[in-house]
Every structure is written in structure tokens, then in C-alpha cells.
């Protein structure tokens, strides 16, 4: 009986020894040897917003799959840093399959690789943790977790692009220049308006809606200020002087147009500004000249800026502008009052009577000569 137990014990020991050797052999197998029937496919989805696509900016982004243990299986082409891939535009891509030959839990991190940050880009900085569970039958299960540890249904990265706003310090801020011709006894206050064509346009500090107002006392200069743009496009503004109704002044009714062309240049919006006058000629200053003329009733006529569409009078505008931008009201020429009669009209009667008398004397002389001639002949 003891011999039987001894024989059984030896058999058990042999079996245990064989199992240990098998386990050691499996543990020493190289990681690069993969099973062919259990590949793990990891899908990465990249989305790019419309603003980036419309800007024709770079839409190719890099991603890295990093093993959290050196013995974790990795796709072909991996380095010690991990496996790197590039995805362009709106696209889903499968990472090269991972194959496992033994049971266990394998962990990885998947994140966007940002080597150089570019202006205007908003990068998705999420890091996904991938947990791969392999059972004894080499069945593979994948669990994806967000940065906060919660489970994620998919691996998705969203990249955005928006050019940085324009720099207000680089914007041309043309001065409003007021010149008063004449000699007023005291300086008057002149008001100027900057008006945006659309309510959505940006405006300088101190504006109310589409309007910014500044004032100049007498002759001098002032500025409306600058602002920043956040979208590409073409923007229009007008500048004119407000009719304040000051007595003895003829107001300059010039209207200037400011055109800002805003474009994306390497991730930041730039502004190309042009300023034109009523004759569509480019200028660098917003010049207004008011004429002061004491005692001239015409100088009291106040002209309305063109943007207010002043009504015409008998088919003619109520004003004209000379080469110096000085406005002058148009007045209809009317016939003057009838000239008074004077004594000069009596001279005409005298001349007429003398003419008649001369004619009578000439006829009498001719008759006398005829009569005298006939007598001599007899």
C-alpha cells in the first residue's frame, strides 16, 4: 500500500514539474511573437470644425499610442516612445492590429502629439487610457476610459481653428482735422460721428450701438480710437460732421468712407484700411473746413450731410462743394426789382423833335431851290 502511495506521489510531482516548465517556457516567449487569431483593432476618430477647413489651414494631426508596460504588445513600426500615426481632416482610422499570446491585462495611453503649437489652433488635449483584457482562451476585450476615469464609448479627438483677433495697436487711426476759416470771436464746439454700416460691426470704446461721437473745440484734431476684429470680411464705416446750427457758420458736409478688409494671415487677423472722400479718392486724414462769416446772412444757412439725403430744390442740390471742401448754398437767381423812371427819358423826346424839325427844313429848302430855278428859265 505504501508503495502505491509513493508511486502516486511521484506521478503528481512529475505532473507539477512539467506544468512549471511549461509556464516558464511561456513566460520566456518573446513579445514580438503574436497569435494570428485574436487581433485587437483600435479605431481613432478625428473631427475638424468648419472654420479650420474654410481657412485652408493645416488639418493633419499626430497621435501616439504609448504602452504603460514595456512588455505590452505594440504595432509594427513602434519605437521606444510608442506608436505614432497621422490623421488628416475629418476621418476615422484603425491603428495597426495588436496581437496577444498570453492572458493578462495590458494598459496603454492614447493622446494627440502636439510638437509645435500654431496660432489660432485649439488642440484636443484629452488622454485616453486603454485597458486590454486577455483571458486564458486569448479572447480580447477593450475598455476605454476618459481622463477622469469614466468609460468612453469611442476614441474621438476634436480640433478647432480660429484666427486670433486683430491687434488694435496696429490699426490706422486717422485723425479728424477741423479747420475754421474766418475770425470768430470765440471758439465753437464741433461734433463728428463715426457710424458703422451694420450693427454687428465692432466699434471703438465709448460707442453707443453703431455710433461713436467725438468733439473738437475750434480748429484742432481728435481721433475716434481703434478696435479689434474677430472675423474675416469687409467692413464699412462713415464719418461726417454733425450739424450743430452755429450761427454765421457754413458747415463742411464732407462724408468719408472707411473700408476695412480683414484677412487671416498665419493665424492672426490683419486689417487693410482705406479711406476715401466724396470723390472716391484715397486720403489719410478726415478733414473738415467750416467757414465763419459774420454779417453774411448766407453763412447762417446750415447744410445737411449727404448721408441724410438732403432734399433737392427745383431739381438741384441745396449745396455745392468747392475744391477746398467749403460748402455753399445754391440760390435761385431771381430778376431784380423794376428800375425806377428818371428824367433821362425826356432827352429821347427832344432828340425826336429836333429830328422832325430838321426834316421839315430840308423839304422847305428843296422847294425853294426848285421855284427859283423855274423863274430863271422864264
What pLDDT was estimated at residue 356?
Answer: 73
Percent of the chain topping pLDDT 70: 67
What pLDDT was estimated at residue 29?
Answer: 34
- Number of residues assigned to the chain: 378
What pLDDT was estimated at residue 117?
Answer: 87
Dist CA 287 CA 177 (whole Å): 5
Helix or strand (DSSP H, E) at 141: strand 140-145
- Whether residue 131 has pLDDT greater than 50: yes
Dist CA 71 CA 31 (whole Å): 7
**Nearest CA to 307 among 210, 223, 207?**
210
**Which of 105-114, 169-178, 336-345 shows the lowest mean pLDDT across its residues?**
336-345
Are 172 and 217 in a shared domain?
yes
Question: How many CA within 13 A on the CB side of residue 340?
Answer: 2
Per the structure block, which three cell numbers stand in for 106? 495590458
Are 76 and 186 in a shared domain?
no
Are 91 and 177 in a shared domain?
no
- Whether residue 5 has pLDDT greater than 90: no
Percent of the chain topping pLDDT 90: 54
What pLDDT was estimated at residue 14?
Answer: 53
Question: Using CA atoms in the order 25, 27, 28, 34, what is the torsion angle rounded to 10 degrees?
Answer: 100
Question: Using CA atoms in the order 299, 305, 311, 314, what is the torsion angle rounded to 10 degrees?
Answer: 50
Dist CA 185 CA 183 (whole Å): 6
Residue 348 dihedral angles phi and psi, to the nearest 5°:
-65, -40
Give a yes or no: residue 39 inside a domain. yes
Helix or strand (DSSP H, E) at 292: strand 286-292
What pLDDT was estimated at residue 375?
Answer: 56
**Nearest CA to 192 among 182, 204, 178?**
178
Q: What is the pTM of this model?
A: 0.56
Dist CA 78 CA 246 (whole Å): 82
What pLDDT was estimated at residue 373?
Answer: 59
Range(s) of the domain holding residue 108? 34-161
33 vs 353 pLDDT, higher one: 353
Are 181 and 300 in a shared domain?
yes
Dist CA 275 CA 282 (whole Å): 5
Q: What is the mean pLDDT of residues 68-82?
A: 94
How high is the mean pLDDT of the chain?
A: 78
93 vs 21 pLDDT, higher one: 93
Dist CA 274 CA 263 (whole Å): 14
Tens-place pLDDT, residues 208-264: 999 999 999 999 999 999 999 999 999 999 999 998 888 889 999 999 999 999 998
Dist CA 44 CA 158 (whole Å): 11
Are 101 and 174 in a shared domain?
no
Pairing status of strand 176-181 against strand 286-292? parallel
What pLDDT was estimated at residue 37?
Answer: 59
Are 192 and 142 in a shared domain?
no
What pLDDT was estimated at residue 13?
Answer: 58
Dist CA 309 CA 303 (whole Å): 11
Whether 239 contacts 283, CB under 8 Å: no
Phi-psi region of 266 (alpha: psi -120 to 50; beta: other; left: phi over 0): left
Give a yes or no: residue 26 inside a domain. no
Per the structure block, which three cell numbers stand in for 154? 469611442
What pLDDT was estimated at residue 27?
Answer: 41
Whether 325 contacts 289, CB under 8 Å: yes
Are 306 and 261 in a shared domain?
yes
Number of other residues whose CB lies within 10 A of the CB of residue 21: 10
- Whether residue 377 has pLDDT greater than 70: no
Number of domains within the chain: 2
Tens-place pLDDT, residues 19-61: 443 444 334 333 333 344 568 999 999 998 766 655 556 788 9
Pairing status of strand 249-250 against strand 220-222? unpaired
Q: For residue 190, give the CATH number of its domain.
A: 2.60.40.3050
Are 153 and 202 in a shared domain?
no
Are 138 and 221 in a shared domain?
no
Give a yes or no: residue 9 inside a domain. no
For residue 144, name the pLDDT band (cuts at 50, 70, 90).
very high
Are 107 and 208 in a shared domain?
no
Number of other residues whose CB lies within 10 A of the CB of residue 136: 7
Amino acid at each position: 500500500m505504501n508503495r502505491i502511495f509513493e508511486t502516486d506521489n511521484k506521478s503528481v510531482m512529475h505532473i507539477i514539474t512539467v506544468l512549471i516548465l511549461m509556464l516558464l517556457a511561456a513566460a520566456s516567449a518573446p513579445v514580438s511573437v503574436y497569435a494570428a487569431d485574436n487581433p485587437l483593432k483600435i479605431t481613432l476618430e478625428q473631427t475638424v470644425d468648419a472654420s479650420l477647413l474654410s481657412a485652408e489651414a493645416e488639418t493633419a494631426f499626430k497621435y501616439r499610442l504609448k504602452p504603460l508596460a514595456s512588455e505590452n504588445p505594440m504595432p509594427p513600426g513602434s519605437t521606444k516612445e510608442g506608436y505614432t500615426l497621422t490623421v488628416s481632416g475629418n476621418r476615422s482610422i484603425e491603428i495597426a492590429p495588436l496581437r496577444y499570446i498570453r492572458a493578462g491585462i495590458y494598459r496603454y495611453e492614447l493622446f494627440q502629439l502636439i510638437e509645435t503649437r500654431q496660432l489660432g489652433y485649439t488642440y484636443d488635449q484629452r488622454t485616453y487610457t486603454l485597458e486590454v483584457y486577455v483571458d486564458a482562451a486569448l479572447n480580447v476585450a477593450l475598455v476605454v476610459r476618459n481622463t477622469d476615469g469614466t468609460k468612453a464609448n469611442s476614441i474621438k479627438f476634436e480640433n478647432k481653428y480660429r484666427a486670433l483677433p486683430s491687434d488694435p495697436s496696429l490699426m490706422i487711426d486717422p485723425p479728424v482735422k477741423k479747420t475754421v476759416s474766418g475770425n470768430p470771436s470765440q471758439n465753437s464746439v464741433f461734433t463728428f460721428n463715426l457710424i458703422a454700416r451694420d450693427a454687428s460691426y465692432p466699434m471703438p470704446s465709448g460707442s453707443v450701438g453703431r455710433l461713436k461721437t467725438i468733439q473738437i473745440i475750434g480748429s484742432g484734431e481728435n481721433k475716434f480710437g481703434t478696435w479689434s476684429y474677430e472675423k474675416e470680411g469687409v467692413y464699412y464705416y462713415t464719418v461726417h460732421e454733425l450739424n450743430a446750427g452755429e450761427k454765421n457758420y457754413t458747415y463742411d458736409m464732407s462724408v468719408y468712407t472707411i473700408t476695412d478688409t480683414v484677412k487671416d494671415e498665419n493665424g492672426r487677423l490683419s486689417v487693410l484700411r482705406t479711406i476715401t472722400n466724396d470723390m472716391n479718392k484715397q486720403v489719410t486724414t478726415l478733414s473738415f473746413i467750416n467757414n465763419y462769416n459774420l454779417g453774411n446772412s448766407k453763412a447762417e444757412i446750415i447744410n445737411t450731410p449727404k448721408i441724410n439725403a438732403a432734399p433737392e430744390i427745383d431739381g438741384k442740390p441745396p449745396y455745392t462743394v468747392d475744391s477746398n471742401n467749403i460748402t455753399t448754398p445754391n440760390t435761385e437767381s431771381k430778376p431784380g426789382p423794376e428800375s425806377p423812371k428818371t428824367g433821362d427819358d425826356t432827352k429821347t423826346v427832344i432828340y425826336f423833335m429836333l429830328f422832325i424839325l430838321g426834316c421839315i427844313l430840308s423839304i422847305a429848302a428843296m422847294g425853294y431851290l426848285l421855284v427859283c430855278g423855274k423863274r430863271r428859265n422864264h
